[in-house]
């Protein structure tokens, strides 16, 4: 499980070959598709493309439906709308008590703070586990690993009682504060694994130069850990943006709703009578995930291959 976590040099650098000796091209997307099709394995490609298309069809269909006049959604199964409209977006935007910008802002606040919290708290803990000696280190490390496996459902009832006693229900605190306390232990583990691959000579040299641990951490370890930090930021973004259960539980007033909770309210209030606006807002809600996905693909793939984050 941990034997393959060493970050490998990016296999795509240059026209390099990957671990199995397969050539991997580093061309533009178009050139890559052309070359792929010109190859001998045309049939494989046709099947792979067809399968990928079937897999993504529902999402593509939702995007296209969001651009169709509502009465056309169910009369035109094809992807290309015969007439375009943005009515669904404007109708959906104002369908609930607050305009959707309000919910997007709430989601953005929670997500932003969660990213900062995870980056700060998890990297601090990871440095201690990877580089420092202290009593009970093994026990604490085991506890940290164990907490990764713990289902949220077993702690959420007491957490609710705790936050309710603190008067934090219907505030963002229950969703943000735990991140500053490194409760997403997955990322501690990820960073420990990463820091362990950095040469210790760097730290030792810094010690000789009179640097303390804080200095080593901020000046040497953190700058070199960018890939691990990026992975953490991207996954925190996607998890928090998609999170539903804890937002549903801790946010009770529409004023504080996030995008997922608002979307679900929309579905409940309008039943199945307004698919058009619902799709439009759904598409918008997936937009940031697409964006982060495109921007952070390299890190995403590496992160998932090494730790199994989803």
Partner 1 sequence: MTDTQVRPRPPGATDRPPVADTKGALRKRRRKEYLTAYLFLLPWFVGLIAITAGPLLTSLYLSFTDYSLIGDSQWVGFDNYTRMFQDDPRFIKALTNTAIYVFVSVPLQLAFALALAMVLDRGVSGLPIYRSVYYLPSLLGSSVAIAILWRQIFGADGLVNEFLGIFGIEGMGWVSHPDTALGTLIILNVWTFGSPMVIFLAGLRQIPTSYYEAASLDGASKARQFFSITLPLLSPIIFFNLILQLINAFQSFTQAFVISGGNGSPADSTLLYTMHVYQKGFNSFEMGYASAMAWVLVLIIAALTGVNFLMSKYWVFYSDK
Among 46, 50, 56, 142, binds partner 1 (CB under 8 A): 56
Question: At CB < 8 A and 24+ separation, what contacts does 13-19 make?
Answer: none
Identity of the residue, 87 or 293, whose beta carbon is nearer to partner 1 in the bound complex = 293
Q: In the range 106-125, which residues lie near partner 1 by CB under 8 A?
A: 120-122, 124-125
Q: Where are the alpha helices (DSSP H) in the chain?
A: 29-38, 42-66, 70-73, 87-93, 100-131, 137-149, 153-165, 173-180, 185-196, 200-208, 213-215, 222-224, 226-242, 245-250, 259-270, 275-295, 297-307
Question: Minimum Å distance from CB 87 to partner 1?
Answer: 18
Is residue 140 close enough to count as binding partner 1 by CB under 8 A? yes
Rule CB under 8 A: say whether 285 interacts with partner 1: yes
- Alpha-carbon gap, residue 240 to 249, rounded angstroms: 14
Of 183-222, which residues contact partner 1 (CB under 8 A)? 183, 188, 201-202, 205-206, 208-210, 212-214, 217, 220
Q: Is 138 in the site for partner 1 (CB under 8 A)?
A: no
Q: Which two tokens stand for residue 219?
A: 């000046």
In the complex, least distance from residue 199 CB atom to partner 1, rounded to whole angstroms: 11
- Please pick, from the candidates 13, 154, 167, 253, the single residue that binds partner 1 as defined by CB under 8 A: 154
Task: Specify the residue, 93 or 160, whose C-beta has the smaller distance to partner 1.
Answer: 160
- Total residues found in the chain within this entry: 310
Nearer to partner 1, 56 or 90 (CB): 56
Quote the tokens at residue 118: 């995870």
Angle at 68 between CA 66 and CA 72, to 5 degrees: 125
Q: Distance between CA 221 and CA 197 in Å, rounded? A: 11
In this structure, what are the phi and psi dihedrals at residue 131, rounded to the nearest 5 degrees?
-125, -20
Among 15, 50, 157, 295, the residue binding partner 1 under the rule CB under 8 A is 157
Residue 10, interface with partner 1 (CB under 8 A)? Answer: no
For partner 1, the binding residue among 13, 29, 43, 139 (CB under 8 A) is 29
Question: Binder to partner 1 among 7, 52, 99, 291 (CB under 8 A)?
Answer: 52
CA atoms within 13 A on the CB side of 46: 5
- Contact with partner 1 (CB under 8 A): which of 16, 79, 152, 295? 152
Among 81-89, 107-115, 173-181, 225-233, the segment contacting partner 1 (CB under 8 A): 173-181
| Residues that contact partner 1, how many (by CB under 8 A) | 115
What are the φ/ψ torsions at residue 23 (nearest 5 degrees)? Answer: -70, 140
Q: Are 256 and 171 in contact (CB under 8 A)?
A: yes
249 binds partner 1 (CB under 8 A): yes
């Amino acid at each position: 499980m941990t034997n393959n976590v060493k970050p490998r040099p990016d296999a795509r650098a240059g026209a390099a070959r990957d671990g199995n000796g397969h050539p991997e091209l580093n061309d533009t997307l178009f050139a890559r598709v052309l070359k792929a099709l010109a190859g001998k394995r045309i049939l494989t490609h046709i099947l792979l493309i067809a399968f990928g298309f079937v897999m993504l069809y529902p999402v593509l269909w939702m995007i296209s439906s969001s651009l169709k006049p509502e009465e056309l959604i169910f009369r035109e199964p094809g992807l290309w709308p015969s007439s375009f409209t943005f009515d669904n977006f404007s109708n959906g935007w104002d369908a609930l008590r607050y305009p959707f910008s309000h919910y997007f802002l709430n989601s953005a606040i929670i997500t932003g703070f969660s990213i900062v919290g995870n980056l700060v708290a998890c990297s601090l803990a990871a440095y201690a586990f990877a580089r420092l000696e202290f009593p009970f280190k093994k026990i604490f490390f085991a506890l940290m690993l164990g907490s990764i496996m713990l289902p949220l459902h077993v702690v959420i009832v007491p957490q609710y009682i705790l936050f309710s006693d603190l008067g934090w229900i219907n505030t963002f605190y229950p969703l943000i504060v735990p991140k500053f306390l490194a409760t997403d232990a997955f990322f501690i583990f990820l960073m420990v694994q990463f820091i362990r691959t950095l040469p210790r000579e760097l730290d030792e040299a810094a010690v000789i130069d009179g640097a303390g641990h804080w200095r080593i951490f901020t000046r040497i370890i953190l700058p070199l850990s960018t890939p691990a930090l990026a992975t953490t930021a991207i996954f925190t973004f996607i998890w928090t943006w998609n999170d539903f259960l804890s937002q549903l539980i801790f946010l009770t007033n529409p004023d504080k709703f996030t995008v997922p909770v608002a979307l679900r309210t929309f579905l409940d209030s309008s039943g199945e009578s307004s698919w058009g606006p619902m799709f439009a807002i759904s598409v918008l809600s997936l937009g940031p995930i697409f964006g982060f996905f495109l921007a952070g693909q390299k890190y995403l793939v590496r992160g998932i291959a090494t730790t199994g984050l989803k």
